[in-house]
Amino acid sequence: MKKIKNLLFVLIIGLLFLPIGLILSAEDAMPAFSGGSHSTDGCHNDLVPLSAVGTVNLTSSVNGSVNGGTDFTISAWIRNFTEASSEVVPLGFSSSRGDNGDFTFAPSYKADIGLNTTGHTTTIQNFTVTAPTTGGNYTITADALYDLDGDTGLNYAWGSINITVEGSSNGGPLDDDPPPLPPLLVLAGTIGGLSILGVQIFLTAKFLLKGKNGKKSDQKPKSKKVKGRDQELNQVKGVTAKNE
């Protein structure tokens, strides 16, 4: 009787900890998971089968384009992963998948996600992601792993998203996108340009006025000289008339 009770106790404990063991087995495979061609070590010697209809859906907060070295958010959720329905599975970004190794994920590269009876997640999991400094087109891939029975192998669902990183090899701005000038430098340049324009207008006006005054001064002596000649002629005429 005592042996039967001990056996029942062991079975109950085993059933309670079986889901935890399955999760840990799947999580152990996550860091180096590389997809359907992946053959796990140890007790998982079979090739990993892809879920028949399960998918991992991904969206980003940057609409597919982000500046190099900046943070953005990737939201992930699972659909139709029926092989793991009602289970808790690790969802994450293996460094061996796509271009995941070029990005940094926080607070972690993976999270444990609960599925309902239809293999759907009931919540959306958000990851903070830091883009690389090198510009280019990248593919980020997420996987949800499920240990079928803790012995024969894993089952997985996956999804990916394309991200364009705007940047240069040294993390600086693009050659065709120069940095903006400091506001004080722009203000100083504007004031300097206006000052130069004001000086040019002043000198031009002064030159025009000087030329106009010079013409007037040239005309006055001529008028006096003509008037003096008329007086001399009148005097000569007067003298001639007296002599006659």
147, 199: one domain = no
Which range in 7-16, 83-92, 230-239 is most confidently predicted, on average pLDDT? Answer: 83-92
Report the C-alpha gap between 52 and 115 in whole angstroms: 16
Give domain status of residue 89, yes or no. yes
Domain that holds residue 197: 184-230
Contact 86, 116 (CB under 8 A): yes
122, 30: one domain = yes
99, 194: one domain = no
13, 46: one domain = yes
Radius of gyration from C-alpha coordinates of the chain: 45
CATH number of the domain residue 35 falls in? 2.60.40.10
- The proportion of the chain whose per-residue pLDDT surpasses 90, expressed as a percent, equals 41
**Helices and strands per DSSP (H, E), number in the chain:** 2, 9
107, 219: one domain = no
pTM of the model: 0.56
**Residue 173 pLDDT class (50, 70, 90 cuts):** very low
Residue of 109 and 213 predicted with greater confidence: 109
Give domain status of residue 239, yes or no. no
Residue 50 has pLDDT above 70, yes or no: yes
Give domain status of residue 240, yes or no. no
Give domain status of residue 39, yes or no. yes
Give domain status of residue 11, yes or no. yes
Report the C-alpha gap between 244 and 146 in whole angstroms: 146
Give domain status of residue 238, yes or no. no
Residue 223 has pLDDT above 70, yes or no: no
**Number of compact structural domains in the chain:** 2
Contact 143, 91 (CB under 8 A): yes
45, 129: one domain = yes
30, 122: one domain = yes
Task: Please tell me the chain's helix, strand, coil percentages from 3-state DSSP, rounded to the nearest 5.
Answer: 40, 30, 30
75, 35: one domain = yes
138, 193: one domain = no
At 8 the pLDDT is 45
162, 222: one domain = no
Of the candidate ranges 30-39, 134-143, 149-158, the one whose mean pLDDT is the lowest: 30-39
64, 154: one domain = yes
Give domain status of residue 241, yes or no. no
